[in-house]
Amino acid sequence: MLPCSTAILPMSSCSRIQAGRGTFLRMVSSPRLTFGLLAIVWMFFLPCEPASAQSPSLTLSSVTANPGSTVVLSVSFVAGAIATAGLQWTISYPAYQIARISATNGPASAAAGKSISCASTADSLTCLVTGANSSGIGSGIVANVQVTLAASAGAMPINISNPVGVDATGAAIPSIKSTRGNVFVPSVSNTAGAIAAGQQGVVSASFGSSSQPRFHGITCSLSQLRAAGQAVCEIHLEALSLYRPTMIQLQSSSPSLLTPAAITVHPRQSAASFRIEAASHGDDSSATITARIDDDTVNQTVNIDSATPSLTLPSHVYGRPARSLRFRVTSAIPGAVLSASDLPPGAVFDAASGDFEWTPGVSQRGAHRVGFTATGRAGDPVTAQSLVEIESGSPTISRLVNAATRSEDAVCSPGAIARIEGRWLFEDSSMSGGSSSRVPRESTIVRVNGSEAPLLSSSPSHVDFLCPTAAPGVSLEIALQTSIGDAQPVRTVARAFAPGIFSIDESRQGAIVHAGTDILAMIPDHLHASQPALAGDELSIYATGIEGAALLTVRIGEIEVTPTSIAPVPEQSGVYRINVILPDGLSTPEAPVFLKIPMPDGSTVESNKVTVASER
């Protein structure tokens, strides 16, 4: 349960698994279950870029149900331009809210001659749809998920994440989107609620007057957003006199403005926050946010600065002889026609899909600048370049950091997770440079002072390993070897502790979840399963570099608290779960969080600072 950067957090909390220039697609993300792996990898580089309009998608439906009842949610698939021969996804949920969960094959999967197999943990269900044929799966329902709610269940998001697809050749399909569903549980009031299905995978409820909240308005931290810009909005409402948490439906009038589908509010809560984001490429200059519970609505308009017409493509790509590399060029210019110039001999550019493909030869080592142009209906061209460098493939280390803090200072302490960053750090005959693996191969070896270190994650751009036991102050030489060659070693100094709290998607948001779930304690957005914490809630903080730190404390805002428990996470070497109770009296809705470890000489070792979201 760690962030994407270390591939330990449940993938429902990750917007994507990013590994340098490429993305490795693994068929099972949970380390807590043993499930058949489908050995599928990218046979080319694919930079993490916005998906094109033809990208496939998975959507989980929403339902209304009473505690203890069994309901069915459907997993709907929209096929993209490339026929999808196999699919996998993970459904995650609060473990204490769900009594049982299973899935059966859907009509779209069955029509393509596919079958479904699933494996579950306490808080997730990972399903694989595949068959002994290469037929593409058409649009429609690919699975039906049977969910039995716990007797005390309340409203909750059900997240569908880590979507993976392959085409008929076994190559991974890029940029599969996923949209979560929700389960709404009617609140208890003096007047029975009439439940009605809402739009866009969200349900709404009609309440009696004794429990109907009255909106006072929506305010946003910014009234105007640039393309890809974000703001935090707050709904102001009368304190709710509800027995159970309830859900407020959110909707944007334009795809140019992204919002979460819904947020949950608790009894006596007078305000609720959520995060909005302007799309990278949008056509509308403004959008209206609508918050709704039944017929009670409130609106807020946000202005959007249109993005300057541009091309989306990687600025720098590395390749090696005899290995295929590929990337995609996209443009948001309406009706744009793509073209390429200065293509290296043997390279191919598909103007219809925007795909650049090339298998360079040995004689083509060096730097190659490739130009791309998008010409819109108005005739004004937009141009950009990619620098494609062909190298020998020998590993190169650029820096050594703490895997959680990304700092080069306190990197290693006994049992801490360290990260080597660079190029060509991972090599396997069955994989190309864009791959990454949670199951490291023998082709990459890391040695610390001559002794082999356990590898935790490998990709061409980074390798995570477990630091050995060494006395504080001891010099550590880290060497990396692949089947191609040896990298120039780097050095660091062993520390007594190298505390680091993991974060989400390279942001300051901590890998801090509501205890017993994978729901992040953060302001809800359109990407993550998240909910701000309330005073008294138990939270789990995921960290490394704290082995043997018996006197550790946690600073949350201005308040220092003692953990209720500190324990290593099973089957996740180097990772610790620190449970704390969120204190009352925090002065800010996004409070800084860091660890403090007292030392025998009276000094204190502190971790990096991350944030946690709370509400009153």
Q: What is the CATH number of the domain that holds 125?
A: 2.60.40.680
pLDDT at 611: 97
Do 59 and 166 belong together in one domain? yes
Residues 157 and 253 both lie in one domain:
no
Shared-domain flag, residues 485 and 605: no
Nearest to 321 by CA among 393, 371, 428, 249: 393
d(CA 165, CA 596): 43
Domain boundary among 389, 420, 441: 389
Following DSSP, what letter does each residue of 379-444 receive, concatenated? --EEEEEEEEEE-----EEEEEEETTT--SSS---TT-EEEEEEES----TT--TT--BSS--TT-
**Token pair listed for 57:** 């998608």
Give the tokens for residue 193. 């609620």
pLDDT of residue 428: 53
| 4 in a structural domain | no
Note the pLDDT of residue 440: 42
**For residue 492, which of 606, 600, 403 has the smallest C-alpha distance?**
403
Q: End-to-end CA distance of the chain, in Å?
A: 27
- Confidence at residue 295, expressed as pLDDT on a 0 to 100 scale: 79
d(CA 362, CA 553): 56
SS3 state of residue 36: coil
User: In this predicted structure, what is the pLDDT of residue 14?
Assistant: 35
Helix runs in 29-174, H state only: 107-111
The rounded distance, in Å, linking the Cα atoms of 52 and 55 is 6
Residues 351 and 446 in one domain: no
User: Which pLDDT does position 239 carry in this prediction?
Assistant: 61
pLDDT of residue 243: 52
In a domain, 40, yes or no: no
Q: So what's the pLDDT on residue 37?
A: 26
Which residues make Cβ contacts (< 8 Å) with residue 304, sequence separation at least 6? 224, 225, 226, 227, 254, 256, 257, 278, 282, 284, 285, 286, 287
Do residues 510 and 602 share a domain? yes
The tally of domains found in the chain comes to 5
Residues in the chain with pLDDT values less than 70: 1-54, 186-213, 239-245, 306-309, 428-442
- Kindly state the tokens that stand for 283: 């056509």
**What pLDDT sits at residue 43?**
25
Whether residue 332 is contained in a domain is answered as: yes
Radius of gyration over every alpha carbon of the chain, rounded to an integer in angstroms: 25
Whether residue 6 lies inside any domain: the answer is no
Give yes or no: residues 180 and 203 share one domain: no
Alpha-carbon gap, residue 330 to 581, rounded angstroms:
46
Structure-token pair, residue 221: 């931290």
The enclosing domain of 417 has a CATH number of: 2.60.40.10
Residues 6+ apart with CB under 8 A from 512: 501, 520, 521, 522, 539, 540, 541, 542, 593, 610, 612
Its pTM stands at 0.69
414 & 484 share domain: yes
Q: How many CB atoms lie within 10 A of CB 133?
A: 11
d(CA 293, CA 214): 9
Clarify whether residues 110 and 205 are in a common domain: no
| Residue 615 tokens, joined | 């509400």
**The last residue of a domain, from among 304, 330, 347:** 304
Pairwise CA distance, residues 93 & 545, whole Å: 29
Last residue of a domain, one of 468, 493, 518: 493
Q: Is residue 361 domain-resident? A: yes
Residue range of the domain that includes 252: 194-304
Question: Do 152 and 208 fall into the same domain?
Answer: no
* Burial of 588: CB neighbours in 10 Å, binned 0-12, 13-18, 19+: exposed
How is 483-548 classified by DSSP, letter by letter?
A: SS-BPPPEEEE--S---EE-BSTTSSBBSEEETTS--BSS---SSS-B--EETT-EEEEEEES-TT
Question: Could you tell me if 449 and 9 are in contact, meaning their C-beta atoms sit under 8 angstroms apart?
Answer: no
Q: Per the domain annotation, does 313 fall within a domain?
A: no
610 and 507 together in one domain: yes
Burial (CB count <10 Å: 0-12, 13-18, 19+), residue 430: exposed
pLDDT for 10 = 37
Residue in 84, 86, 124, 117 with CA at minimum distance from that of residue 103: 117
Shared domain for 483 and 436, answered yes or no, is yes
Does residue 279 fall inside a structural domain? yes
Nearest to 537 by CA among 506, 482, 579: 579
61 & 180 share domain: yes
CA angle 509, 513, 518 (to 5 degrees): 115
pLDDT at res. 427: 73
Pick from 516, 512, 494, 490: nearest CA to 503: 512
| Backbone CA torsion sign across 614, 97, 9, 467 | positive
Per residue, what are the HEC states of 285-354? CEEEEEEEECCEEEEEEEEECCCCCCEECCCEEEECCCCCEEEECEECCCCCEEEEECCCCCCEEECCCC
- Residue 367: CB atoms within 10 A of its CB come to 10
> Residue 538: what residue type?
E
Amino acid at 391: E
Q: Is residue 314, in this structure, part of any structural domain at all?
A: no
Q: Give pLDDT, residue 4.
A: 39
Show the tokens assigned to 468.
């050995």
Give the model's pLDDT for residue 464. 97
CA–CA distance, 408 with 28 (Å, rounded to integer): 31
β-bridge mates for residue 41, sequence order: none
